[in-house]
Structure 1
Amino acid sequence: SLTLIGGFNRAWGLPLPQRHALAPGSVFVFEVAGPLPATLAAKLAALEDAGIGEQRGDGCGRVAVNWQQRPALTYTVSTLAYATQEALLPEADQPLARSLGERILRAELEIALAERIHARSLANREAIRNSLLNRLRSAARARLAELQQLPPAEAAALTLADATKPFLQPLHELVDGLERPAAEQLQRARFWSSRKGEQTRLSAWLRTRLTQVDQLWVDENLGGTPMLELGGVKVTAPPIWLVEYTLRLIDGVLAQAARTPRQTPAQDQTHKQAQG
């Protein structure tokens, strides 16, 4: 049977000419009376090596002569039982596997973090000023910078309680200690989550994230603690990641709020109707 071959030349920025060709798997039968002459056998062998026709450099023109000479194919179901055993990495390679696993988890969490930040937007932009948002962001980013300065081994060894006190408690105290005008702004501000389809007070969300750190993976629908296994090496997100991604999520949500344009009353009413 026939088929069309073509393609696209990126260098030219143009499609390649469409040409007719024999479809892959096409079979032609030729009969030879008597034994196959040696000269013909040599020519056929050369065709198998070099191919035939055009665009052989693109994989076209491959031929096989007398590839299957048996009159029929048969198979036998094996009765041998093979022991299945998980391939385990040598102990010397396990640190590399653990490092690779952490990079994979990090890459997945980066995607999830960006999705959850962009899924939130302020429902009432006029309720809170950028000065307050930036003040909270500065506090979160300062704690995050301190956390990232820790040696990796020391950070990985911290328990959740040990990591929460120096890196999240100061931000929690800042939120609880805001003066009345700033506290009222934070109380009035609400953001819309397209993932959950609901509005949440910014003040309540901040306090939840700062006090229920261990619930981050569950609350953000990540299916529990991120983990994977490579060659028998189990890699699990350490407790310090809960603190780090809590700070990064808070910073990202506040930054998203600060970038939200202020709406006119008519736009705000339209936004509320769309959410309702």
Structure 2
Amino acid sequence: MIGGFNRKWGLPLPQVPALAAGTAIVFEGFEIDEAQIQQLEYRGIGERREDGFGRVAVNWLKKEKFLVSLPKSSSSSSLPCLKKEGSHLLAEQMAQRLLEQKLEQYLQTRVGRLSLDEGISNSQLSRLQSVARQALPNGDCSLVISLLNNLPSNARNQFERTKIGNKSFRKQLDEWLENPTDWIEGITEVKIADVERNFNDDRAKEDKLAQKYTLRLIMAVAKKATKEKK
């Protein structure tokens, strides 16, 4: 039984019987020419054809038997090999985006577990964010390292006495900046067809992917600490 709803009237349509999609009907001793077949398939039959009902195909499958065979097993990888340059380029772009998505999710999870103790002013946090943001486009961690190495004594003491976990904030920043891949854990490689990517492969090193996400981690931690102070 097929029903429906008329939005113009705001009323349900009367239910009527209809043949289920995929129904096959056989007519024996009946002839139909090509022109009639084309007309039937173009126009359809029955009611509510404007809603998609009444679509028919005539003599669609003429073969009575089909041969099916299983593919030969192969010891090689089941991943398809991309032969066209455009397909390979598209797979690389997809793998890159998927890798960045995993890194983004991991970054958010990591930031949620980190917090700073009292001891550092908002002005120092703001300055740290500003330099990290400046370094982000090129993944240049040396800018933040230079900032930390040239702090006046009062500001340096704030970074030293502020704790993040069981470490001083200064020590943690040094570890992140000197070894930007060490804090990223549990992210396996990404595979799209025969294209493999991970956060520390040659492409990632060239793009300084780990450095950029390390700078974003520092910015996010500083921003979170500023909000918590407010």
Please, what TM-score do these two structures have when normalized by structure 1? 0.55
Deviation at 1:203, TM superposition (A): 3.8
Counterpart residue type for residue 62 of structure 1: R
Bigger proportion of residues as strand: 1
In the alignment, what sits opposite 1:78?
Answer: 69
How far apart are the structure 1 equivalents of 2:136 and 2:173? 16
Q: Distance in 2 between matches of 1:43 and 1:103?
A: 48
Q: 1:252 aligns with which of 213, 220, 228?
A: 220
Which of 166, 169, 172 pairs up with 2:142?
169
Of 4, 26, 51, which residue of structure 1 is paired with 2:44? 51
Change in Cα spacing, 1:43 to 1:139, as seen in structure 2 (3 Å) is: closer
Letter in 2 for 1:172: I
2:49 corresponds to which letter in structure 1? Answer: R
Return closer, same or farther for 1:38/1:77 CA change in 2, 3 Å cut-off. closer
Q: Are the counterparts in 1 of residues 117 and 163 from structure 2 also a CA contact under 8 Å? A: yes
After TM superposition, the structure 1 = structure 2 runs for residues 34-49 of structure 1, keeping only pairs within 5 Å, are 35-36=29-30, 46-49=39-42
- 1:138 corresponds in structure 2 to 130
Q: By how many angstroms is 1:134 displaced?
A: 0.9
Q: Percent identity?
A: 25
Structure 2 residue matching 1:257: 3-state secondary structure: helix
Q: Which residue does the alignment assign to 2:187?
A: 222
Residue ranges of structure 1 left out of the alignment (5+ in a row): 149-166, 192-198, 263-276
Residues 62 and 178 of structure 1: CA distance in aligned 2, closer, same or farther (over 3 Å)? same
Per the alignment, residue 210 of structure 2 pairs with 242
Match of 2:83 among 81, 89, 93: 89
Distance (Å, rounded) in 2 between the aligned partners of 1:182 and 1:119: 26
Tell me: CA distance 1:55–1:259, structure 2 relative to 1, closer, same or farther (3 Å).
farther
Q: Contact 1:113–1:249 (CA<8 Å) still a contact in 2? A: no
Note the C-alpha offset of 1:101.
1.5
Out of 55, 61, 64, the position equivalent to 1:62 is: 55
How many equivalent pairs are there?
216
Aligned to 1:25: 22
Which secondary structure state, in structure 1, belongs to the residue aligned with residue 181 of structure 2? helix
Q: Could you tell me how far apart the structure 1 residues matched to 2:11 and 2:39 are?
A: 29
1:120 aligned partner: 111
Equivalent residue letter for 1:105: Q
Distance 1:99 1:62 in 2: 38
1:98, 1:234 within 8 Å by CA — same for their partners in 2? Answer: no
Structure 2 alignment gaps of length 5 or more: none
With structure 2 as the length reference, what TM-score do the two structures score?
0.63
